[in-house]
Structure 1
């Protein structure tokens, strides 16, 4: 059953699909996918080509736009858009500490979650595409991890695509997670240095907060244990266009004098728990490193292991001297599952995923080298989340893929640069520029 309704300038239709949990067993257990169709009100009766949007993450449902916000307005000029909640996210049989115990114990949960990667997402798309398009290929727009999925789409089912548009999401085809994080920590350090150049007053503020966390046991109102490492992970903000400013405003009133001495302000704690909690997207933490698994090597908490190769990120050592405290970037650690009450019951499940060694390949280099699907990618220079060198090496490996390399935007360029970013990419893929 589909339900249609309206927002300013658009008509929305809710869709629900049943797909196999394991595409290798199409007659076996099923899960539900949810997607929201969007079309411009004045084009609702027209036969338009389809664009399926794959959200970044992993573990996030599709954007909940109001009307023609961000890039959507530009897309609706040409397409009927499908905003897909990828399996396990949003309304698509969500995976969380509340639902995963239905699978059984940690081993069963880990086996279950191994089916929530890009290869399964692409096969989901291929099952629902004919039901919507009548069999015609569609355009995929992949943001960040959605771009990873788009490259998997070009590898597994290019016949389903008329066009591939990727923003901030060209993955390495063969890098292990260790390679990803060895490239990531130096980028994070550069972003932090740039932040302190912009806001030099934050050097002392960050050191004071870190010192407080090293000497106090702080538990936020939602039960999140705020350690100094968790505080450093706020550096993930620095990968967005306004992230440096948001971090600055977060730090400027963090400490307040009380009858018991200096404490973290209620306002700071409230904002930090909203930023750090995985309650709304637990799948992100569970499978984040698994998206890089493709061989018989475990990811084995790669971000945590590789971090030891960069001692400048050790807060205790930093505070023993006079160097600025370094924030980190997009990383998930074992302690993440100890700090966050939304993740604590899933710690053993996460350990089993980190130890897994039977990840199937996500990309087909030979097929990509023979690619015939028009494809284009925005590569954000010195992107905090996706390594530029990895992206450009992949771009050279995909036949016919055109790149737009820019430092005008951070990782969220599709959102903050809309509709200009999407307009340029569509013009490029159509050979109009």
Structure 2
């Protein structure tokens, strides 16, 4: 199967939304494994969003407007719903949204843990980019050759994918925009998490500086969770470690206040009733769980791997950072961030089970979650792979001719500023917009200002 025939458009339907928006819902079949395209296929889903111009033709073959494809963050994040945009393709990356989604049950269809892990190997940026190229060739098949390139907007992990795109298939690109998404050019996650731990410590200090009374409140909450078994509706367990994972919000605009609101809700429950109410438990479950994000939980460390295994890097590095000792830290209770969210955090806790007290080792998400608990063996296999293919071609990036416009956040907790600036220096024709007034979710929280700044980089000239 040639690259031109790699994707097949299966269906297209049109819907008109308020505000003169015309949305096409598209389904494609693409190879699961591009090295063996005849073996199996995946269904990809995307929405093409077009601003309707009164009196203008609406036939694709006549209009042939330029495409821009949006790549969501994650890994494992589906595209958002259509917004007030001009002409953009909102692609659910493989395994997300309506694109052959991955759950414990759908993975089980692949066979045993080894086969499931082999299946997940095919859901990194290199294959996401191959999907994009296959879809691009289908959508621009009737375009003149000089107009078949498209633009890419990559948020967070979507930006990582965009840099892989620049490395592997630059001829398909007209221009690239990234927001909080210039990847570290490393071969394993260890150095990334070392800097991430430092950044998360800074955000914890900022939190307790803003809400100093919360340190005592958090201690009381953790003591309650240590002495009581709190189960979620699905049977998962609210452990102290899972509660501290609320710190993943610290890297977003408004994240400190969001966590503070949850702390207040927990404290109010304990003061009033002596236990957590159902709405409080549900809130914590939704803000700390990864049951609906299998790819994020299992593949997060693998997105940094090139020829080396991850071997649960964040867990291995944890002893170097005593600030994250949870309830047993006499110097303060530090929340964890995404570098701990997908690891096996092993801390002995006394938990009453069936009216007895056992010393039990919690392995965080994969122990406190019913869904992820089914995939512990799969996750271990993925963490052991040492033959991950290269995602970035440094030489190609150094001679890159595709214009790149990148928003980089000084206070980014997830994509460290130092790595982002190093990568920007490697990519030829990369123009960065650097700010310390936005956080990692700037594309959502300050979208108008951010897009204006990126377009200014593209359209303005400096003598």
Task: Quickly name the TM-score band, shorter chain normalised.
Answer: over 0.9
- Select the structure of larger CA radius of gyration: 2
Deviates more, 1:87-96 or 1:276-285: 276-285
CA contact (8 A) 1:51 1:138 kept: yes
- Alignment counterpart, residue 274 of structure 1, candidates 286, 304, 307: 286
CA distance in 1 between partners of 2:451 and 2:48 (Å): 19
CA contact (8 A) 1:277 1:342 kept: no
2:355 aligns with: none
Sort the Cα spacing of 1:91 and 1:182 in 2 relative to 1 into closer, same or farther, 3 A.
Answer: same
Asked whether 1:230 is paired with 2:242, we answer yes
Asked whether 1:7 is paired with 2:17, we answer yes
CA distance in 2 between partners of 1:232 and 1:394 (Å): 31
SS in 2 for 1:31: strand
SS in 2 for 1:419: helix
2:115 aligns with: 108
Q: Whose relative contact order is higher, 1 or 2, with alpha carbons under 8 Å and at least 6 apart?
A: 1
Asked whether 1:396 is paired with 2:425, we answer yes
2:43 aligns with: 32
Q: For 1:212-246, what per-residue CA distance to the aligned partner results, in whole angstroms no more than 9, with x for missing partners? A: 22222221223221111111111001111011111
- TM-score, normalised to structure 1, is 0.93
Structure 1 gaps of 5+ residues are: none
2:399 aligns with: 370
Sort the Cα spacing of 1:2 and 1:213 in 2 relative to 1 into closer, same or farther, 3 A.
Answer: same
Sort the Cα spacing of 1:117 and 1:261 in 2 relative to 1 into closer, same or farther, 3 A.
Answer: same
Asked whether 1:125 is paired with 2:132, we answer yes
Q: CA RMSD in A?
A: 1.7
1:95 aligns with: 102
Sort the Cα spacing of 1:99 and 1:152 in 2 relative to 1 into closer, same or farther, 3 A.
Answer: same
What pairs up with 1:200-211 in 2 under 5 angstroms? Answer: 200-211=212-223
SS in 2 for 1:378: strand
Aligned residues: 419
CA distance in 2 between partners of 1:231 and 1:259 (Å): 18
Deviates more, 1:197-206 or 1:400-409: 197-206
SS in 1 for 2:233: coil
Structure 2 gaps of 5+ residues are: 1-10, 345-362
**How far 1:283 sits from its partner (Å)?**
1.5
What pairs up with 1:19-418 in 2 under 5 angstroms? Answer: 19-42=30-53, 45=58, 46-65=63-82, 67-68=83-84, 73=85, 76=86, 80-134=87-141, 136-255=148-267, 262-295=274-307, 297-318=308-329, 321=330, 323-331=331-339, 332-334=342-344, 335=363, 336-418=365-447
CA contact (8 A) 2:219 2:327 kept: no
Moved over 4 A (4+): 256-261
**How far 1:262 sits from its partner (Å)?**
2.8
CA contact (8 A) 1:137 1:162 kept: yes
**How far 1:47 sits from its partner (Å)?**
3.4
